Amino acid sequence: MKNNYFAICLAVLFSAGVQAELSARQIMEKVDQNVRQSNDSAFSVSVLSSCRFVQRDRQVVCSDQPRVKKLETVSKQYGRQLKDSRVISVVLEPAADRGVGMLTYSYDDDQKDTESWLYLSALGKVKRLASGDDDKEPVAFFGSEFTTEDMESGKTDEYDYRILQQGQYGQRPVWVVEATPTAARRNKTRYSKVLMWVDKERFLVIKAQPFDKQGKAWKRIIARDIEQVAGHWIARDAQVFNMKSRRMSRLITEAITLGVEVDDEFLTQRTLTDKAFREHGLARLRAAAVQ
């Protein structure tokens, strides 16, 4: 009788464990939710650097002088499920590039392409950056190897997912999830698929490997220096290696504040072109970030 009792208990526990298993889509929805929540009403200061790279003594290093920019970024999520986003980044340093800005709108609606605008302070003009066409290159983030596609969220419905394996990566328990674009997404991406190493406890992608349309590895994206901010896991250090251009870029977040009050008007082209309006808004956000 005791043996039967223990057998029943084990069967119940095993059944509960199976039911608790998450599907690939559920995993990625949790990942996306974390990203969207950590980008909602956020203000950050970061350093973006880019250079050509070579491998020396089993390490990847810059082969030329890195181009470095210091940025202030403001982001806010919109829509019923916070799947639309607006992000604006403005260059603080170097002095020659101060005031150069980039504004990006991303939409949950798969019929609407991501929109981006670049403001060149030296010319005093806003340039709309084309995206969503298969014959055009992805929109680069301030000329780096990061693109708007690499940084967007709220697009889980535009991909099919499957778990390839589970295990350890960098001493963290992970799922390896494969994302392939749906028919509607294929015309808007240069990637044929993306492999993602998802931290099981933090629901954060700590490594990603996008592939081109020919099935060749295009990039490797690594997330490091992970910490919890206002209850959300974020990577303060993100690095991307482009296997085609042999260039790499690194984005280090020096400071970030979540839950700041962001006026909708600040996330418009007026902030790009109107210096007084921009500086007034940034001053208020800086003061809120210190508190």
DSSP track, 37-96: HHHTTEEEEEEEEEEEEEEETTEEEESSPPEEEEEEEEEEEESTTS-EEEEEEEEEESGG
pTM exceeds 0.85:
yes
- Residues 195-233 have pLDDT tens digits of 999 999 999 999 999 999 999 999 999 999 999 999 999
Q: What domains does the chain contain, in order, with CATH numbers? A: 43-290 (2.50.20.10)
Residue 245 bridge partners (DSSP): none
- Residues 78-136 have pLDDT tens digits of 988 888 999 999 999 999 999 999 999 999 887 888 899 999 988 889 999 866 544 45
The C-alpha atoms of residue 288 and residue 277 are separated, in whole angstroms, by 17
The C-alpha atoms of residue 42 and residue 169 are separated, in whole angstroms, by 29
Residue 238's nearest CA partner among 225, 251, 247, 248 is 251
- Residues 7-29 have pLDDT tens digits of 444 444 443 443 368 999 999 99
